[in-house]
Amino acid sequence: MYVVKSPLSDTDLRTVSEALQGALVDLVDLSLVAKQVHWNVVGPRFRSVHLQLDEVVDVARTHSDTVAERASALGVSPDGRASTVAAGSGISAVPAGWVKDSDAVGALVAALGAVITRMRERVGATGDADPVSQDIFIGITADLEKHHWMFQAENA
């Protein structure tokens, strides 16, 4: 059922909807992973890592809303259900329990790196199909790369 009709061709809409759905899944999972680590981080850099993790959560949540609303604007129903996120995320699971601050930083470097790689693929895939969505992916990638750099600097 289509409630909203997209101005994109069916082929372009398929490409863009897959990219938007994939981005939504990755961003929702990134926010969950960062929050899980946030709750469990311990160590001498606890406070700074704890606060930095919340910044990633905020960025991921803000961008996931932007992505979901873009999908809706194109007539694509976004799916952020837990089962969909678990099945489609490109982020490796983080272990349960307490996480040493240096391990927390490493986990976020890996998670951000995975999402950035997939986001850059979406930038390439949507350029011709929908430059508006591509622009969203470019902005998301820039924000995530900033956090990726900052977490890498934590363990340098």
pLDDT the model gives residue 156: 75
> 67: how many CB neighbours lie within 10 A of its CB?
27
pLDDT tens profile 60-71: 999 999 999 999
Query: Residue 135: is it exposed, middle or buried by C-beta count within 10 angstroms (0-12/13-18/19+)?
Result: middle
Instruction: Please check the confidence at residue 125 and state whether its pLDDT lies above 90.
Output: yes
For the chain, what is the mean pLDDT?
Answer: 96
- Output 101-105 pairs: Cβ under 8 A, ≥24 positions apart: 101/41, 101/42, 101/43, 101/44, 101/45, 101/46, 101/49, 102/43, 102/45, 102/155, 104/37, 104/40, 104/41, 104/43, 104/49, 104/53, 105/49, 105/151, 105/154, 105/155
pLDDT the model gives residue 1: 52
Whole-structure pTM value: 0.95
pLDDT the model gives residue 67: 98
pLDDT tens profile 94-105: 989 999 999 999
pLDDT tens profile 48-58: 999 999 999 99
pLDDT tens profile 21-54: 999 999 999 999 999 999 999 999 999 999 999 9
pLDDT tens profile 64-94: 999 999 999 999 999 999 999 999 999 999 9
Residues above pLDDT 70, as percent of the chain: 99
Phi, psi of 38, deg, nearest 5: -55, -45
Structure tokens at 130: 């929908």
pLDDT the model gives residue 2: 60
> 96: how many CB neighbours lie within 10 A of its CB?
8
- Produce one character per residue of 3-21: b if its CB has 16 or more CB atoms within 10 Å, e if not: eeebebeeebbebbbebbb
Amino acid identity, position 76: V
pLDDT tens profile 137-150: 999 999 999 999 99
